[in-house]
Structure 1
């Protein structure tokens, strides 16, 4: 292995509190009560589509979906740096990766207008070998395009890369790119998810488990 690439939301950074806060602000605007964090958390990796589904029962085929999506994203823009934090143990894992002489980067489906301010706010932009957002390539995950773009930016062979994510599309993208893959079980998995069936090379319960795998 020459490098480790991470999904962002639900793998590298715990962003669920801010994603959920924006959703609850939107629910409040529409006369609805706040949802508990535990209700929202499993949907945090599924972007605005998943959040609007749990928050309002909306699907992309609904007439008001795009207007509600725009409203949600505007609210999230205002609160996205409220309290994003690395998952417990992730700071130590990143430090250990760097001490081993390996490189690391971020590949997320999050749009660049949200990714870059957050990563910069957390001081990760100066450490990551590449930060690739969902709109940096024609197709986001589960397409491998953004993962391959990260390898191109870092000048590394995809077959020497380990990709870690908390959603099935992360594993599908990593496999399509020819990478080794791990499922972050500490991420935003729903009770209906079956990560053992996704075909990853392994699953980790906490960030430190990554080091044992390496």
Structure 2
């Protein structure tokens, strides 16, 4: 094996170990909360020593921050993945995005428990607060771009301030229905929350839009 291949193999191995530690952290937080996710508990879950964790992360706080960034990024990426499968029609892309955010695997009790645990600590942890803002703004930027596409296709000019307001409102609809679905998923029919969300988004943007637009 060449020196370059060995370095690549070692780097990939280190990335896998780092990700394994993040996954173990998420499991501990989901089961025991932030306080119960001690370095010792995480090490036991990952099958490593506490000393090895410190090789990858200076301390527990940095590990928690990486874990939170992972869960937020995963939620956003799962929704964005739906866009690659959607038609190029702007309305269909918006519908696909809303549907992806209001159904499994994004709507999930464990995902909500993790999100709630981390965000509940954001006010007292500047690093977690920064990660939360970054995740929120990244998601909102995605929504704003989709809204801009739809309005442009409708021949409707919109200022930057109007697009921002639309994105905040659409994000609010998605967030509210997502929380409802995570807390009581069994109370809703399959696709019900997505249908409500799509209709609400259409109303906010001033046109009728239905689930069939995303098919």
TM-score, structure 2 as length reference: 0.29
Larger radius of gyration: 2
| Larger RCO of the pair (alpha carbons < 8 Å, separation 6+) | 1
TM-score, structure 1 as length reference: 0.29
Comparing both structures, which one devotes a greater share of its residues to helix? Answer: 2
